[in-house]
Amino acid sequence: MGGHIAYVRSLPAVKKTGLRSPGKRLLAWILRPLVRSDLRDRPFPVQLRRRLEILGPTFTKLGQIMAIREDLLPEPITKELDSLMDHLPPIPFEQVVQTLERDLNAPPDQLFDNIEAEPLGSASIAQVHRATTREGDEVVLKVMKPGIRDVITSDLKLLEIFGVFLQWILPRYQPRQIINEFSAYTKREIDYSYEADHAEIFSANFQDMPGVVFPDVYRDLSGDDVLTMEYLEGIRPGSEAALALNEEERQRVIDLGAGAIIRMLYRDGFFHADLHAGNLRIMPGETPEDLRIGFIDLGMVGRFRADLKRRMLYYYYALVRGDVESAARYLIDMARVGEGGDPQGFRRAVSDMARHFLMRSKQGSISLAQVILRSLSLGGRYRVFFPVEMTLMVKALVTFEGVGRTLDPNLDVVAVSRRHVQQIFQERFSPWNLGKELLGSAPELIDVARQLPQLLSSGTVHLEEALTEQPPSESVSGIRNSILAGACLVGGVIAVVQGGPLWLSLPLFGAGVLLALFGS
């Protein structure tokens, strides 16, 4: 109702005089008494933000997810929702103690030497307190607010029903998709076992990169409503202490941050999906080489499927190399084309936009995150839609660029990104990794080898039938190439299965594939 009133109010004056637009104006007049007086004269984006805040924590978080969907929603709405705050008054410390005792089956003073009564932060779902274990370890306690899980669960059920209704009214903005994605992420966020698993997965993924750290999880001091994790002592990016770092330390922070985020996105396909400067810690050491960075608040993560991760790597690699045509091709491969979509028009528009941005990069540094975000935003115009993970990815890149430029205003994002993504690209296509992938496909290769005699026999029959239609030399050449292809394929399979060296198995298998495809 508020949206319709705001729409009628925004009509040009010429359409609101006399008998023009009578139906719209009459409906707005009828609806006006039903809308809150303090909101009905505000612009629609402001009405939407305020209503989400009034509806409570679930809808506040929904608004935060909507704020990053710039690929689906108009800019005035996403810009207004970006100001949604998720900071709420803390619950009394007595309730925190009761939750700890109930969830950990013991009085808190038996488990901890000290718990600070003043919280480090209080959001809609939980609040965080600093504490010290009996062993003297500095930890943080993430305590879920009483009753919040039941409230969120019931709200999500209502939202999913409402999403069906909204999809019928506003299909262009994909409301059902946004609500379903939001529900999936929020259900994981109120289950602390997921966040504990995320921290351990990140630590395992970065065990060979000691400059990037994630908090350890104390499983024996955690439960359904309490999560105990290592306290990472450090300084926030953008603080006076961070700006006081020397040049070598700043470059170390930028290099570690860029390497970590690009690695999460394009090598592991498992990344921090709520990344902002507040969730980063700079941990200086005695020397610049000892400096580390830490990631905290790991409840929300993004995952790329294996095929999507591979295409994302190709897309980003093409983008940092300035190959806009290839970048547009990889991007459209990751999209879902809606009814009446125009993928070719989208591809041309993305190529033109990216080319314009990269031409500007010769005059100064550009934002790769903005190039990607604008590419995704073009999708709505051409009915081309992308998974939410891609907009979460942009959020991570925006954080990297923002923190980097805070520390180095002249940061060349393209050059730094190119260096790190090239390393991942080289790892991805190293002979050793290709050999492991080939070995992982050994069962399928064995099936191919078993069926080769039958396939070759069938091929020979077809070639014999074609003898009368081809000159003798071509027929003989076709048979010879088929036999050679089969021999190479069988040789490659046998070499892999028998544990033969990659320098023998890979060329044999590759030659067999090439002969089979192009030998005729």
Q: pLDDT grade, residue 487 (50/70/90)?
A: low
- Mean pLDDT in residue range 334-351: 88
Distance CA 327, CA 316 (A): 7
Pair 277, 238: CB distance under 8 Å: yes
- Mean pLDDT in residue range 100-119: 94
62 pLDDT more than 60: yes
* Residues above pLDDT 90, as percent of the chain: 29
- The whole-number pLDDT of residue 474 equals 46
- The whole-number pLDDT of residue 411 equals 85
Distance CA 459, CA 452 (A): 10
298-323 pLDDT, tens per residue? 988 988 888 888 888 889 888 888 88
Phi/psi at 502 (nearest 5 deg)?
Answer: -65, -30
196-248 pLDDT, tens per residue? 999 999 999 999 999 999 999 999 999 999 999 999 999 998 888 988 999 99
Q: Distance from CA of residue 471 to its chain's centroid?
A: 57
Name the residue type at position 291. Answer: L
Phi/psi at 511 (nearest 5 deg)?
Answer: -65, -40
450 pLDDT more than 50: yes
CA distances from 487 to 397, 491, 494, 499 (A): 48, 6, 10, 18
Which residues lie closer than 8 Å to 107 by C-beta, 6 or more apart? 101
Q: Where are the alpha helices (DSSP H) in 35-174?
A: 44-55, 57-68, 75-81, 93-104, 108-111, 148-169
Cα–Cα nearest to 257, from 300, 305, 301, 206: 206
Q: pLDDT grade, residue 63 (50/70/90)?
A: confident
- The whole-number pLDDT of residue 372 equals 87
- The whole-number pLDDT of residue 59 equals 85
Q: pLDDT grade, residue 178 (50/70/90)?
A: confident
Q: Distance from CA of residue 505 to its chain's centroid?
A: 37
Start-to-end C-alpha separation, the chain = 68
Distance CA 174, CA 388 (A): 12
Residue ranges of domains in the chain: 1-42, 87-231, 234-429, 436-518
Cα–Cα nearest to 186, from 205, 216, 159: 159
Q: Supply 474's token pair.
A: 């071509």
- The whole-number pLDDT of residue 176 equals 82
Mean residue pLDDT of the chain comes to 82
Cα–Cα nearest to 46, from 13, 81, 11, 14: 81
Q: Supply 366's token pair.
A: 């550009």
Q: Indicate the SS3 state at residue 40.
A: coil
Report field, pTM of the whole predicted structure over 0.75: no
Q: Indicate the SS3 state at residue 270.
A: strand
Q: pLDDT grade, residue 466 (50/70/90)?
A: low
- How many Cβ atoms from other residues are within 10 Å of residue 415's Cβ? 11
* Residues above pLDDT 70, as percent of the chain: 81
